Structure 1
Amino acid sequence: MPLELLTDRRVETAKPSAGQDRFELRDTKVRGLELRIGKREGSKTWALLYTRQTDGRVRRVTIGPYPEIGLAEARRRALGFKVNIESGADPATGIQESNAAPTFKELSDEWIRIHGPSKGAKSLSDNVSMLRRHILPVIGAKMAHDVTKRDVLRLLDLVALKADARLGKKSLAARKTRDVPVLDTARQLSHRPARVYEVIRAIYRWAISRDILAIDPTFGMKPPLKKERPRERALTSEEIKQFWTRLGDTPLTEGVKLALRLALVTAQRIGEVSNIVKTELALHGPTPIWSLPAERSKNREGHRIPLSPLAVRLIKEAQALSGESKFLFPSPKDDASIGSGAATKGMQRARPTFDLADFRVHDLRRTAATGMAELGFNPYTISLVLNHISARTGTITSAVYVKYSYDKEKREALESWGRRLEELVGAVIGLETVIPAAAP
């Protein structure tokens, strides 16, 4: 059987000799890759020969027909099979059982069902949204093992061309007429294909690890963006006053306004703030605290947030509005909380009122962290306030042996930040006196 470095020209012109029913060409660049050429109408099919690890038997798995699959794509797919074979997979068996294989939608549903409980609520919601809006309409009905690299690339191209659903036509028009930079919108759009790609890749890698599939179409693909540039937007002192005062002029509900202010005061994620259950709060005594359960935190780590006097004041206002609901910020439509979507969408609608360039809800958390740093608190304490997992489990000592909650240090930082906010917006919230900030 000929062994040679295959070229596009050689593959195109290869045919059986007189009297041959079939012959094969084997590639020297990718060991085991062969082009099987039949006598009838010159049919050509790519296949991969490999040795099954469990019993040492030589197996053959069909890759697909030529010219639908060219030389470069055949090599890429063969390499993908070889990676899985080295991990113990038997792709020939998987192909033989392809009639029972799932569609991509069925595969993604199973991934959500099994993998979803281990993800944070916001992360899971984002994954489901990307699947529903971008991925399933394009490849959901295809058999999961039939999705090709070209399918994924075409999907990512379509995603890059879509307008951002969070910014309606009126919002975009308002930005342009007010001469507000649209760089933030462009940045969102440019990074969305990368996040869609990550979801598809995660599903296929999970399917291979569970021996559901034998090959990953994203193998060898480069992410649309190598690294996402982190945002750096934090409000200045004047912008904090502007945000706080103009929030009152927006058409947002009082509950949403209080949730946004509380997010700034506590430095916590808007999803964790807007879904507060009243039983998480202990407001009486000299050290009021909010205990965020692990199942509600993004990193699945329980978190204790000391509450400053300003935070307690906002929470009591929210309690008065919430009535008998178990949620601090109940939804007016059903027995649920308003969720992070109410604040995020509300901010988009109220953007012209705020008149703050390139401003998002999550920037409130960065603003609080920056403010605490300006007050002299060290990065480790601020990371603890933010519940960053690196601060809690960065070393074996902190992860396993140190069980101290750091409530004292976090309280000093948050109370100093609360006093700083009172200095900035005290007149607005009706404080008769402003308490000077204590040195950390």
Structure 2
Amino acid sequence: MALTDTTIRQAKARDNDWKLADGKGLYLLVTKTGSKLWRLKFRVGGKEKKLALGSYPEIGLKEARAKRDEARRLVQSGSDPSSVKRERRIAKKLATANTFDAIAEEYIAKIEAEGRAGATIGKTRWLLSKLSPALGSRPIGEITPHELLAVLKASERAGHRETARRLRSFASRVFRYAVATVRAKSDPAQPLRGALVSPVAKHHAAITDPVAFGGLLRAIEEYSGQPVTCLALRFTPHVFQRPGEIRQAEWTEIDFENAVWTIPAERMKQRHAHRVPLSRQALAILSEAHELTGGGRYVFPKLGSSLKPMSENAINGALRRLGYGSDRMTAHGFRSTASSLLNESGKWSYDAIERALSHADRNQVRAAYHRGTHWLERVEMAQWWSDYLDQLRNGADIVLFTDRNAG
């Protein structure tokens, strides 16, 4: 006898599971816990099988019968409804895992596991957040160059040319990862390389005139801001490392006895540990800092929180308060100043200067064979540089450079 909704609703749990038959293999399994589950009994190749069709009342009687009829048609065509259901479930799962967002998250997890810096991961997630609204839920294999270009052009029209360029580059890396993991056939970002307006290169402002730089050093010496900021501002010209490396410096990295600051690989742009020789002047500044912050983790901690490093805007902010605008000098500009004046001195080899700046050799063949760190020269150069800064700060009108190659 065919079931009715009334019969189903009135069915109660018993001590053991029991069945209410409907017809053509469809029945309702009433469990001892009170659940009501639709099941279909069918035969494939002479073997009896069962198929779960859902639970009542989520699946009503009419829908259960429709599912039964669909399954019976599959059996009649020679297919196994259980296998078809499993394939559909897998296909749905793959479709969800194949969205741009899902593949991008996989890619980010991969580069994170490979040891990319936290700052790099943060920037990468920011780029993903810019692409997600338009592309995040799209199957990655269906995204076209035209579709991606529309997103990039929107950023470009908003005046964010550099962001548009970075978005294209990041999208391309995600698509190439999808190709490598057999989730896409091509990279739609690749043909768009020439489609965007090139951003105007912006260089970090820096003072490279010795006399003018001496004026800055005197202003730094007289700066009356927060003590930790003052120390970081005085320390920066002597070591000319990247602002992020300086503000995140930890006391465990400082070797006073051997006069070396070792920056771990995870904080370095080139992903290699970098040793910085410390002059007498740099060590003196660090000794001052140790009296203030030596009991904590960071050499230059954030104001009001010893558990965090100094704000990334602290040095630039101090320069602005000293009257040096962003078009004249920046925290990163100390590197350019050191590079220019050290090279102009003629006293030090190009390789020693480049390694002091922790620059990667762009000539990959040369880099493979030229692995020396020029350490002894760099130690001598670090002390010469600090002595030279003292001369500039003290108002030397002319600093004579002696060519180290002169006979």
Normalising by structure 1, we get a TM-score of 0.60
1:255 aligns with 2:206: no
Q: Deviations over 1:280-339 (max 9, x none)?
A: 11112xx51111222221111121111112211222222222141121112345554425
Structure 1 range deviating more: 94-103 or 384-393: 94-103
Matches of residues 48-59 of structure 1 in structure 2 within 5 Å? none
How many Å separate the matches in 2 of 1:392 and 1:303?
20
- How many Å apart are 1:245 and its aligned residue? 4.4
Q: Give the secondary structure class of the aligned counterpart of 1:220.
A: helix
Alignment counterpart, residue 425 of structure 1, candidates 390, 393, 398? 393
How many Å separate the matches in 2 of 1:216 and 1:344?
41
- How many Å apart are 1:135 and its aligned residue? 2.7
Q: Which amino acid aligns with 2:231?
A: L
1:410 aligns with 2:378: yes
1:110 aligns with 2:106: yes
Q: 1:115 to 1:263 in 2, by over 3 A?
A: same
Q: Which amino acid aligns with 1:192?
A: T
Q: Deviations over 1:146-185 (max 9, x none)?
A: 433233222222323447xxxxxxxxxxxxxxxxxxxxxx
Partner of 1:240: 213
1:160 aligns with 2:156: yes
Q: 1:193 to 1:255 in 2, by over 3 A?
A: farther
* 1:383–1:391 Cα contact (<8 Å) kept: no
Q: Deviations over 1:206-241 (max 9, x none)?
A: 221222333322131124356975737431224424
Alignment counterpart, residue 269 of structure 2, candidates 269, 283, 298? 298
* 2:141–2:183 Cα contact (<8 Å) kept: no
How many Å separate the matches in 1 of 2:97 and 2:131?
19
Q: Which amino acid aligns with 1:231?
A: H
How many Å separate the matches in 2 of 1:146 and 1:344?
47
Partner of 1:266: 239
Q: Which amino acid aligns with 2:375?
A: D
Q: 1:234 to 1:162 in 2, by over 3 A?
A: same
Partner of 2:97: 101
Alignment counterpart, residue 254 of structure 2, candidates 273, 281, 286? 281
Q: Deviations over 1:245-292 (max 9, x none)?
A: 4457879643334334433221211111111111111112xx511112
Q: Give the secondary structure class of the aligned counterpart of 1:389.
A: coil
Q: Give the secondary structure class of the aligned counterpart of 1:231.
A: coil
Q: Which amino acid aligns with 1:367?
A: T
1:205 aligns with 2:201: no
How many Å separate the matches in 2 of 1:332 and 1:143?
46
Matches of residues 125-164 of structure 1 in structure 2 within 5 Å? 125-132=122-129, 134-162=130-158
1:231 aligns with 2:227: no
Partner of 1:173: none
Alignment counterpart, residue 324 of structure 2, candidates 349, 354, 357? 354
Q: 1:106 to 1:97 in 2, by over 3 A?
A: closer
For structure 1, the 5+ residue unaligned runs are 1-93, 164-188, 428-434
Q: Which amino acid aligns with 2:105?
A: D
> Which of the two has higher C-alpha Rg?
2
How many Å separate the matches in 1 of 2:128 and 2:198?
21
Q: 1:257 to 1:149 in 2, by over 3 A?
A: farther
Q: 1:146 to 1:381 in 2, by over 3 A?
A: same
Q: Which amino acid aligns with 1:282?
A: D
Partner of 2:336: 366
How many Å separate the matches in 2 of 1:252 and 1:131?
38
For structure 2, the 5+ residue unaligned runs are 1-89
- How many Å apart are 1:365 and its aligned residue? 0.9
How many Å separate the matches in 2 of 1:196 and 1:290?
36
| Count of residues in Structure 1 that have an aligned counterpart in Structure 2 | 308
Q: Which amino acid aligns with 2:338?
A: A
Q: Which amino acid aligns with 2:374?
A: Y
Partner of 1:123: 120
- How many Å apart are 1:107 and its aligned residue? 2.3
Q: 1:99 to 1:405 in 2, by over 3 A?
A: closer
How many Å separate the matches in 2 of 1:157 and 1:201?
16
Q: Deviations over 1:385-428 (max 9, x none)?
A: 112231897537636xx5x542211112222211111112248x
How many Å separate the matches in 1 of 2:316 and 2:368?
41
How many Å separate the matches in 2 of 1:438 and 1:312?
27
* 1:277–1:326 Cα contact (<8 Å) kept: yes
How many Å separate the matches in 1 of 2:334 and 2:235?
10
Q: Deviations over 1:115-172 (max 9, x none)?
A: 134434443333233333x333443343433433233222222323447xxxxxxxxx
Q: 1:406 to 1:121 in 2, by over 3 A?
A: farther
1:310 aligns with 2:281: yes
